Amino acid sequence: MPAPRPLFAIGLMLLAVLCFAALDATSKTLSQTFAVPLLVWARYTFHFLLMVVFLAPSMKIRLIATRRPRLQVLRALMLVGTTGFAMASFRTMPLAEATAILFVTPLAVALLAGPLLGERVGTTRWIAVVAGFGGMLLVARPGGAMSAAGIAWALAAAACYTIYQIQTRMLSPSENTWTMLFYTALVGTVAMSLGLPLFWSGALPTPLQALMIASLGIYGGTGHFLLIRAFRHVAASTLSPFLYAQLVWAAVFGWLFYGHVPDGISIAGMAIIAGSSIAMAAFEQRRPC
């Protein structure tokens, strides 16, 4: 285990969520011209190629060795669903608001950890979950100006991501981190390639658009690499609050590229979602084992 380097790890985490926010902003722009499934295919295919080039020569068979292949595949499919539904949401919703809805995932995981993982769901978790979902309602405001379809896509993405996180907890004690990351890229590439002829239509991308499409996999692969490196240098509980920097990046990109600034109610909802998750994580860290 490398020596603790908290400031270095926090820096890696901030860069990782910047990559994820850049992926979301790029996909929002591209989705106005290209089919979302095509963008999902590109995100996983270029991620897969990066791993083959940089990890396969050194890890060889260890990169795909797993004791639970079915769960690996199912987990990867859940992340593919998360990506596709999220991109569909970004297509019709502002970046910051859609991202905020996706960030109810840690609260949903905390709630489902009881029946699925046998973890105790105490009063503090329930309070945090109720508050977080209340914050989500402030952001989404059903019946308001937000796109109903966009909200539905974001909720579907959050549901897939919740299952993905639960399965990650199941696999983490026994599976290699790089293997888990590789399976997400491999399964995503294979699954989306099978349907590629169905959604590859229209004009070919310009050189700039082709570069942007390729960047989706680069942002995703680099972000996950930085995330893994960050967790090698400090405890997960220390880094968890900094995940919410992605909300800030999403708001900044939404303002810079799309001229959208979240209103006061949305900002309050985002703060409640982030605050609930951070408070719950802090409480869980202090609770005796």
- Residue 190 pLDDT > 50: yes
Q: E-assigned strands of 202-245?
A: none
Whether residue 153 is contained in a domain is answered as: yes
Q: Which two tokens stand for residue 30?
A: 């591209």
Whether residue 53 is contained in a domain is answered as: yes
pLDDT of residue 174: 85
Whether residue 84 is contained in a domain is answered as: yes
Alpha-carbon dihedral sign for residues 111, 117, 120, 124 = negative
- Confidence band, pLDDT 50/70/90 cuts, at residue 143: low
pLDDT of residue 289: 45
**DSSP tag of 3:** P
CA separation for the pair 180, 17 (Å, rounded): 19
Q: Which two tokens stand for residue 87?
A: 């991109």
How many CB atoms sit inside 10 A of residue 103's CB? Answer: 25
The residues, ordered by sequence, that sit 6+ positions from 165 with a Cβ below 8 Å of its Cβ are: 105, 106, 109
Least confident of 117-126, 214-223, 255-264: 117-126
Whether residue 1 is contained in a domain is answered as: no
**Higher pLDDT, residue 21 or 9:** 21
CA separation for the pair 185, 169 (Å, rounded): 19
Dump pLDDT digits (tens) for 43-80.
999 999 999 998 999 999 999 999 999 999 999 999 99
Whether residue 270 is contained in a domain is answered as: yes
**Higher pLDDT, residue 125 or 272:** 272
Residue span of the structural domain in which 102 resides: 6-286
pLDDT of residue 58: 93
**Residue 224 burial by Cβ neighbours in a 10 Å radius (0-12, 13-18, 19+):** buried
Please tell me the total count of domains within the chain: 1
Q: What is the DSSP string of 62-121?
A: GGT--S-HHHHHHHHHHHHHHHHHHHHHHHHS-HHHHHHHHTTHHHHHHHHHHHHH----
List b or e across 109-121, with b for residues whose CB sees 16 or more CB atoms inside 10 angstroms: bbbbbeeeeeeee
Whether residue 133 is contained in a domain is answered as: yes
Dump pLDDT digits (tens) for 194-247.
988 888 776 789 999 999 999 999 999 898 888 878 877 776 667 777 888 899
CA separation for the pair 9, 1 (Å, rounded): 14
Question: What average pLDDT does range 101-120 have in this prediction?
Answer: 78
List b or e across 73-82, with b for residues whose CB sees 16 or more CB atoms inside 10 angstroms: bebbbbbbbb
On average, the pLDDT of the chain sits at 87
pLDDT of residue 93: 93
How far is Cα of residue 208 from the mean position of the Cα atoms in its chain?
25
Contact by Cβ (8 Å): 80, 10: no
pLDDT of residue 105: 85
pLDDT of residue 211: 95
High-pLDDT (> 70) share of the chain, %? 92
Contact by Cβ (8 Å): 50, 218: yes
pTM recorded for the entire structure? 0.88
CA angle, residues 277, 232, 105, in degrees to nearest 5: 25
Dump pLDDT digits (tens) for 152-166.
999 999 999 999 988
Question: What average pLDDT does range 255-265 have in this prediction?
Answer: 91
Whether residue 264 is contained in a domain is answered as: yes
- Using CA atoms, how far residue 141 sits from 77, 104, 169, 194, 266, in Å, is 30, 15, 32, 37, 9
- Confidence band, pLDDT 50/70/90 cuts, at residue 286: low
- Residue 288 pLDDT > 70: no
pLDDT of residue 237: 62
High-pLDDT (> 90) share of the chain, %? 51
